[in-house]
Amino acid sequence: MKKLLIYLLPVCLLAGSCKKFLEETSPDEIRPSSTDDLYALMISDAYPYSSSMEDFSDMLTDDIKSYGMPRLTNGELNTAYSSYYENGKGIFSFDPLELEGSQGTAASSLNAWKNCYNKIKGCNIIIDYVDKVSGTDVAKNALRGQALLLRGFYYFKLLQLYCAPYNGTGIDPGTTLGVPLILSMQVSDEHVGRSTLKQTFDQVEKDLMEAVTLLEANYTAPNAFRVGHIAAYTLLSRFYLYRGLDADMDKVIDYADRVITERPQLTLLKNFISATNTITIAGIYEQARSSEVIWQYSTNSKNMTVFFPFPTSYSGLHAPYAVSDELRNMYEIGPDNNRRGDLRYAYYFYKYTKDGVEYPSRGAKAGLSPTPGEKGIRTAEVYINAAEALSRRFKSQGNDADRLKSLQYLNTLRESRYDTRNTAYVQVDIQQADSLINFSLAERRRELSLEETFRWADIKRLGLSVTHTFIDADGNSTVYTLPANSLLYALPIPVTAIERNNNLVPNPR
Q: 10 pLDDT exceeds 60?
A: no
If asked whether residues 301 and 438 sit together in one domain, one would say yes
If asked whether residues 191 and 124 sit together in one domain, one would say yes
CB 272 within 8 Å of CB 343: yes
**What single letter denotes the amino acid at residue 156?**
F
Mean pLDDT for the stretch of residues 323-344: 95
If asked whether residues 419 and 272 sit together in one domain, one would say yes
Taking the mean position of all CA atoms in its chain, how far away is CA 106? 19
CATH number of the CATH domain containing 394: 1.25.40.390
If asked whether residues 186 and 52 sit together in one domain, one would say yes
CB 81 within 8 Å of CB 309: yes
Mean pLDDT for the stretch of residues 188-214: 93
pLDDT value, residue 296: 93
Report the candidate in 291, 229, 255 with the shortest Cα–Cα distance to residue 385. Answer: 255
Does a structural domain hold residue 333? no
If asked whether residues 214 and 296 sit together in one domain, one would say no
Does a structural domain hold residue 317? no
Higher pLDDT, 43 or 80: 43
Does a structural domain hold residue 155? yes
b/e map 46-78, b = 16+ CB within 10 Å: bbbbeebbbbbbbbbbbbbbbbbbbeeeeeebe
Does a structural domain hold residue 331? no
Of 20-29, 140-149, 261-270, least confident by mean pLDDT is: 20-29
Alpha helices in 173-247 (DSSP H): 197-218, 229-243
**For residue 233, with 0-12 CB atoms within 10 Å meaning exposed, 13-18 middle and 19 or more buried, which class applies?**
buried
If asked whether residues 192 and 233 sit together in one domain, one would say no
Mean pLDDT for the stretch of residues 360-383: 86
pLDDT digits (tens, 9 = 90+) for 427-448: 999 999 999 999 999 999 999 9
pLDDT value, residue 188: 58
Query: How would residue 16 be classed by pLDDT, with cut points 50, 70 and 90?
Result: very low
Q: 305 pLDDT exceeds 90?
A: no
Query: How would residue 370 be classed by pLDDT, with cut points 50, 70 and 90?
Result: low
pLDDT exceeding 70 applies to what percent of the chain?
Answer: 92
Does a structural domain hold residue 10? no
If asked whether residues 148 and 258 sit together in one domain, one would say no
pLDDT value, residue 291: 92
Mean pLDDT of the chain: 90
Does a structural domain hold residue 350? yes
Report the candidate in 356, 391, 381 with the shortest Cα–Cα distance to residue 448. Answer: 381
pLDDT value, residue 208: 98
Higher pLDDT, 75 or 16: 75
Residue 339: φ, ψ to 5°: -140, 85
pLDDT digits (tens, 9 = 90+) for 124-182: 999 999 999 999 999 999 999 999 999 999 999 999 999 999 999 999 999 999 999 99
Q: 252 pLDDT exceeds 80?
A: yes
If asked whether residues 262 and 126 sit together in one domain, one would say no
Query: How would residue 358 be classed by pLDDT, with cut points 50, 70 and 90?
Result: confident
pLDDT value, residue 280: 79
pLDDT value, residue 27: 37
Of 134-143, 207-216, 315-324, 422-431, least confident by mean pLDDT is: 315-324
Does a structural domain hold residue 347? yes
Which range is most confident: 199-208, 287-296, 300-309?
199-208
Mean pLDDT for the stretch of residues 456-465: 98
If asked whether residues 451 and 493 sit together in one domain, one would say no
**For residue 389, with 0-12 CB atoms within 10 Å meaning exposed, 13-18 middle and 19 or more buried, which class applies?**
buried
**What single letter denotes the amino acid at residue 274?**
S
Q: 24 pLDDT exceeds 50?
A: no
CB 215 within 8 Å of CB 149: yes
Residue 397 domain boundaries: 223-310+339-464
Question: How many independent structural domains does the chain possess?
Answer: 2
Q: 1 pLDDT exceeds 60?
A: no
pLDDT digits (tens, 9 = 90+) for 466-508: 999 999 988 999 999 999 999 999 999 999 999 999 999 999 9
Taking the mean position of all CA atoms in its chain, how far away is CA 413? 20
Q: 70 pLDDT exceeds 90?
A: no
Query: How would residue 5 be classed by pLDDT, with cut points 50, 70 and 90?
Result: very low
Predicted structure pTM score? 0.93
If asked whether residues 164 and 278 sit together in one domain, one would say no
Does a structural domain hold residue 167? yes
Separation between Cα atoms, residue 107 and residue 101, nearest integer Å? 4
pLDDT value, residue 108: 79
If asked whether residues 373 and 503 sit together in one domain, one would say no
Strand partners, 468: 480
Q: 232 pLDDT exceeds 90?
A: yes
If asked whether residues 134 and 108 sit together in one domain, one would say yes
Q: 19 pLDDT exceeds 70?
A: no
Taking the mean position of all CA atoms in its chain, how far away is CA 410? 21
pLDDT value, residue 190: 64
Q: 51 pLDDT exceeds 80?
A: no
DSSP state of 303: G
Mean pLDDT for the stretch of residues 74-92: 89
